[in-house]
Amino acid sequence: MSSILSVQGSPRGERSHSRRLQEAFLKAWQGRDAGRQVLRREVGRVAVPAVSEGWIAAAFHPEPDARSEVMKADLALSDVLVDELFAADRLVISAPMYNFGVPSGVKAWVDQIVRIGRTFDFDPARQDNPYTPLLQGRKALVITTRGDRGYGPGGANAHLNHADAYLRTVLGFIGIHDVTVVAVENDEFGGESFEQSYQRAERALADLAETF
């Protein structure tokens, strides 16, 4: 049965455009089959801890089975977040652009789920290609909103868009290569330019809910 892990990245609640679009998408997608599951993981309004020295020592321990209880505790949340990724066959992330990248909660979540031995493997003997992604057969949808404009492919600000590139890179690194981005622009300008962009995204997401 299909299932989505939904990651909400905006610190804003009801005023968040990306969150509102994500909820509409999830509702439409779930409405197509009563058995479809959605698991939500809030990272915008609930702090996800940054990785610590203890976390790093535990994650990169040469013998994972020999981790101490303290080390296991350091990785406990990361284990839960990774399990959530594996439990779903689809991923939907909503993330506003913040300072040309993603909000810190989304970055913290990424740091928790990109885990050696869990979502990727590293074999230094394979000099040409030491990394093996461990997630397979999944696809992702990124719903993003931006204050300015022109960040899409070919746009005047495309070279400043580190958010989409970053998410595509980290998701690809763990094995999720099928990534669709739906964006709203012009939030800071408001008015018709924003409305048109928002409605285009609504239509794109309504179509995607049929096929995702």
- Name the residue nearer to ligand FMN (CB basis): 99 or 132: 99
With b meaning 16 or more CB within 10 Å and e meaning fewer, what string describes 166-192?
A: bbbebbebbebeebebbbbbbbeeeee
Q: Does position 102 bind ligand FMN by CB under 6 A? A: no
Stretch that binds ligand FMN, among 10-18, 107-115, 128-136, 165-173 (CB under 6 A): 10-18
Phi (first) and psi of residue 178, to 5 degrees:
-90, 90
- Residue 196 interacts with ligand FMN (CB under 6 A)? no
Residue 91 interacting with ligand FMN (CB under 6 A): no
Q: Which is nearer to ligand FMN, 131 or 189 (CB)?
A: 189
Q: Least distance from C-beta 92 to ligand FMN, angstroms?
A: 14
Is residue 107 involved in binding ligand FMN (CB under 6 A)?
no
Closer to ligand FMN at the Cβ: 74 or 164?
A: 164
* DSSP character string of 32-54: T-TT-EEEEEE-SSSPPPPP-HH
Contact letters (x/-) for ligand FMN, 43-82, by CB under 6 A?
A: ----------------------------------------
Q: Does 12 bind ligand FMN (CB under 6 A)?
A: yes
> In angstroms, what CA-CA distances link 151 with 77, 89, 91, 165?
33, 29, 23, 11
Rounded distance between C-alpha atoms, residue 87 and residue 89, angstroms: 7
Judged by CB under 6 A, does residue 99 bind ligand FMN? yes
Measured between alpha carbons, how far is 5 from 20 in angstroms, rounded to an integer? 16
Helix (H) / strand (E) containing 132: strand 131-133
10 binds ligand FMN (CB under 6 A): yes
23 part of the interface to ligand FMN, by CB under 6 A: no
Phi and psi, residue 186, nearest 5°: 75, 15
Out of 37, 61, 100, 208, the residue judged to bind ligand FMN by CB under 6 A? 100
What angle do helix axes 162-173 and 104-113 make, rounded to 10 degrees? 10
Residue 113 tokens, joined: 């789920």
- Contacts to ligand FMN by CB under 6 A: 10, 12, 16-19, 96-100, 145-148, 187
